[in-house]
């Protein structure tokens, strides 16, 4: 097994965060094979080296993976100094120390993954892996086709041009004065989807992540979570080109299928791929 930094190993064991682990090392509370370590940067071989903190041996926790349907009004953080509700408040029954994979804004709801598998979490969040995330966006008023086509090509934001996206236009609802659009991206910039539509002066009424790497919220109520099945973990690791072990043969993956009619799609090239959609007031 490859070597890794001592503080990373301590964090992977679920004992404390990596930053706290560094503080423990400097404070002289960490032993490796009976020798106290007080310098940062020391590497160990987890397969043969024994690590103790305050005389107690620590070992990595079993890797666990969860999917959560985040409600609005909660912060994607393991804690908040201002005492506001966090996503961890909904996962109190989970004994393993898991972390959210990426973030959803305070007023954004939907699919959020949790794990203590740092390698998978980092891979899922890295744009180079191309893992897709799909959002359902409800926008105030009518949305112009030329704006959706521009969004599919990529738009210039303050932190650079966005990568090509795929969009599905489900049309304008005159009763609520909103347009529903699905957008699929593989980046993860801060407030990216909101900023993309705000670039064209649209006001986002509601934003919900409905799919991530092929996983969906099927059967999962708002505020609820469940452990990922073995085949679902296998799928995520395959997307990230990470190795995986054996999984239960009975596990299945819920794949998203679009069931709404009259949709209009905009692909990577911005070309219209569907001709039918809901009436939009003759715009």
Q: Which are the catalytic amino acids? A: 105
| Sign of the torsion angle spanned by Cα atoms 106, 77, 232, 265 | positive
CA-to-CA distance for 9 and 58, rounded, in angstroms? 9
DSSP calls for the chain? ---EEHHHHHHHTTSS-HHHHHHHHHTT-EEETTEEE-STT-EE-TTT--EEETTEE--PPPP-EEEEEEPSS-BSSS--TT---BGGGG-TT--S--EESS---TT-EEEEEEES-HHHHHHHH-GGG---EEEEEEEES---HHHHHHHHH--EETTEEPPP-EEEEEEEETTTTEEEEEEEES---TTHHHHHHHTTTPPEEEEEEEEETTEE-TT--TT-EEEPPHHHHHHHHHHTT-------TT----------SS-EEE-TT--B--------TT-
CB of 230 within 8 A of CB of 248?
A: yes
């Amino acid at each position: 097994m490859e070597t890794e930094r001592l503080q990373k190993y301590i964090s992977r064991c679920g004992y404390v965060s990596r930053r706290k682990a560094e503080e423990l090392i400097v404070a002289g509370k960490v032993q490796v094979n009976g020798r106290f370590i007080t310098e940062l940067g020391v590497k160990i071989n987890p397969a043969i080296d024994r690590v103790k903190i305050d005389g107690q041996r620590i070992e990595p926790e079993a890797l666990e993976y969860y999917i959560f349907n985040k409600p609005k009004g909660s912060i994607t953080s393991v804690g908040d100094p201002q005492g506001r509700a966090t996503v961890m408040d909904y996962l109190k029954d989970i004994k393993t120390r898991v972390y959210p994979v990426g973030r959803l804004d305070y007023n954004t709801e939907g699919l959020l993954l949790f794990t203590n598998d740092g390698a998978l979490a980092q891979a899922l969040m890295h744009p180079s892996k191309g893992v897709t995330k799909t959002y359902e966006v409800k926008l105030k008023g009518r949305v112009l086709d030329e704006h959706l086509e521009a969004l599919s090509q990529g738009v210039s934001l303050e932190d650079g041009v966005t990568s090509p996206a795929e969009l599905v236009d489900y049309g304008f609802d005159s009763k609520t004065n909103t347009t529903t659009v699905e957008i699929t991206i593989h980046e993860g910039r801060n407030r990216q989807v909101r900023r993309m539509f705000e670039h064209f002066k649209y006001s986002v009424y509601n934003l919900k992540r409905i799919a991530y790497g092929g996983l969906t919220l099927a059967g999962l109520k708002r505020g609820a979570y469940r452990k990922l099945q073995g085949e679902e973990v296998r799928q995520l690791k395959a997307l990230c080109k990470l190795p995986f072990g054996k999984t239960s043969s009975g596990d299945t993956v819920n794949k998203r299928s679009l069931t709404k009619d009259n949709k209009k799609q905009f692909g990577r090239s911005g070309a219209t791929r569907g001709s039918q959609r809901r009436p939009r007031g003759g715009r």
